[in-house]
Amino acid sequence: MPFPERAWLRWARRAARGMRHPALRLGIGDDAALFDLGRGYEGALTTDLFLEDVHFLRAADPAVVCGRRCATRALSDLAAMGAAPVALFLSVAFPAGAAERWRRDFFRGVRLAAAEAGAVLAGGDLAASPGGLVADVAGLGRVRRGRALLRSGARPGDLIFVSGTLGLAARGRALAHGGTAPGNAGDRAALARHRHPRARWALGGALAERRLASAAIDISDGLSTDLDHLCEESGVAAVIDAARIPAPAAPGGLELALHGGEDYELLFTVPPRRRAALARLAFAAAPVEIGVIRAGRGMWLRRDGRVRRLRAGGWEHFRSTMRGK
């Protein structure tokens, strides 16, 4: 995701203002940049960091899981643009302490995630890290011209949808980091979401192809944070309904769903006239309607008959590392 930290994003946009290139259609500020690919297509390009002790703990998960999660970040950004993944580029610096076996398994995890998404591993860079493992994945995708899903397209009256249960990955992460064995089916589902997230490129592609969504973003930093980004980019407000948010059936489930990151579900808005067409999409997990876009600014949560202000409380990497949290 390009420059998630709000102030930096504003600054970077100002700094990049006036930079134009005829081949580029969309620059800083969305899930990916867009450029013309010819033959009725546009290319989407995104880069995502994956740093030890910030985005993952090396001791908590198998190497192949770390590689898979690393790749999923870029694949999910492409999904949020409605772009089909084409290629991934892996820049990685391994610490001296990472065994050859671990390095190869990490690489295999990246390749596995790419292959699942129909993408190829097409390049990257390699270095030695004096600190922890450092990775950055660039994702290249393609989408039909003019069909890409932007963050900026939501209009008052549009319905807000999410593509699946939220908060599972945060719960699974807590289990994995605590070394806790999963006690029940809910725990197992949470651990599976944390370890084997799958970006929603098929759904994103269908939303774009059929012009079902007016705006979209992937939920990598948590619903509250990513909905906030979408509202700000679209210049609108949002009201969501706590009872409708698909959350884990566990104590604190709603909080996890609101603020837990790394679910890699899609958050998207649908004009009311397209709701019936969306319902006809045959996906294993049907998208869930959780609220509505309003004119104005800010986010609001309806809960137990009352409507309160909702603040972005997701996991912004820039403010806290996992360890420091």
Residues 78-97 that bind a second copy (CB under 8 A): 86-87, 89-91, 93
SS3 11: helix
| Closest to a second copy by CB, 250 or 322 | 322
| Closest to a second copy by CB, 21 or 273 | 21
User: Binding of a second copy at residue 229 (CB under 8 A)?
Assistant: no
Size of the site for a second copy (CB under 8 A): 75
Q: Exactly one of 10, 104, 297, 308 binds a second copy (CB under 8 A); which one?
A: 104
In what helix (H) or strand (E) does residue 303 lie, and over which residues does it extend? strand 299-303
Q: Exactly one of 60, 138, 192, 206 binds a second copy (CB under 8 A); which one?
A: 138
User: Binding of a second copy at residue 106 (CB under 8 A)?
Assistant: no
Q: Are 86 and 142 in contact (CB under 8 A)?
A: yes
User: Binding of a second copy at residue 113 (CB under 8 A)?
Assistant: no
Restricting to residues 22-61, which ones interact with a second copy according to CB under 8 A? 23-24, 27-29, 32-33, 35-39, 41, 43, 45-49, 51-55
| Closest to a second copy by CB, 87 or 206 | 87
User: Binding of a second copy at residue 152 (CB under 8 A)?
Assistant: no
User: Binding of a second copy at residue 16 (CB under 8 A)?
Assistant: yes
| Closest to a second copy by CB, 83 or 207 | 83
- Could you tell me the smallest distance in angstroms from the CB atom of residue 124 to a second copy? 6
Strand order in the sheet with 120-129: 24-26, 33-38, 41-51, 134-144, 84-95, 120-129
User: Binding of a second copy at residue 132 (CB under 8 A)?
Assistant: yes
- Could you tell me the smallest distance in angstroms from the CB atom of residue 269 to a second copy? 22
User: Binding of a second copy at residue 296 (CB under 8 A)?
Assistant: no
Collect contacts of 282-289 with beta carbons under 8 A, ≥24 apart. Answer: 283/202, 283/203, 283/206, 285/163, 285/164, 287/161, 287/162, 287/163, 287/164, 287/203, 288/161, 288/162, 288/163, 288/164, 288/244, 288/245, 288/246, 289/159, 289/160, 289/161, 289/244
In what helix (H) or strand (E) does residue 170 lie, and over which residues does it extend? helix 168-178
> Count of CB atoms within 10 A of residue 7's CB?
9
